[in-house]
Each structure stands twice: as structure tokens, then as C-alpha cells.
Amino acid sequence: MKIDPHDRIDLTGPWAGFGFQGGHMFTPEGHQLEPSDMTWWSLTCNIAREWRLMMAEARIELATRSVPPRKARATTKSSVIYLADALRIRRERRLGTGGPGSDAEPSNVVYMSRGPRPRQRV
């Protein structure tokens, strides 16, 4: 069996709606994907997986009103920023529930400054 890349090839099963034609992939919405567009799939899949984990943790948090600590991630020294942890910490700071004894709400005041002055010629 020989496949001509210029003929339309429709995929089936969970990929129904996707297909190939003329050396390009197309989506069910009609978007055409270049071969170079597919280099970002790994990053997109990793972002989607982290988003699903974050949303699952948020659902558990809403159901139980407590967030389980993620000690395994907190003890590792790496340059990876876990979005779920960063958003949880930001939310705790904004709502004033971060530290013990912090009953006052944080201030929303933004202090404006002019920045450095340019050098003046004498």
C-alpha cells in the first residue's frame, strides 16, 4: 500500500476529525498545522498536565477547605516553578491567610516613584 501525501487522509478513533493533506496536518476546527508547529507538542502536553493537576488540587481544596502540603516539591532545589504552588501562595498572601497571627489584610497601596534622574550637564 502506497500513500500519496497530496491525498486527504482522515484519522479515526480518538483522532477523528484530524487528518493529513499535502504534507500538513489539519484539525477538526479547520486549522492547518505546519510540521514546525508540532515541535511544541511536548511543552503543550506538559503545561496541560500541570494544569490538570492544579485544577484537581483546587477541587480538593474547595471540597475540604485545606491544601495538602507538597513537601516533596518544596525540599528539592531546582529552578522549576510549580504553577499550582505559586498561585496558592499568591492567593494566601492576597487573602491574608499566609502566616499565623496575620489578621490584618494586606495593603493594596502602590507606591509610585519617578526612577533615576538623568545626569545634568553643568
In a domain, 116, yes or no: no
In a domain, 118, yes or no: no
pLDDT in tens, 18-66: 998 888 889 999 899 888 888 888 888 999 998 888 888 877 877 776 5
pLDDT bin (cut points 50, 70, 90) of residue 67 is: very low
Mean pLDDT of the chain: 76
**Structural domain for 17, as ranges:** 9-33
In a domain, 117, yes or no: no
pLDDT at 102 over 60: no
pLDDT at 22: 84
- 24 and 51 share one domain: no
- 60 and 22 share one domain: no
**CA-to-CA distance for 28 and 16, rounded, in angstroms?**
8
Q: Are strands 9-10 and 32-33 parallel, antiparallel or unpaired?
A: unpaired
- 25 and 61 share one domain: no
- 21 and 67 share one domain: no
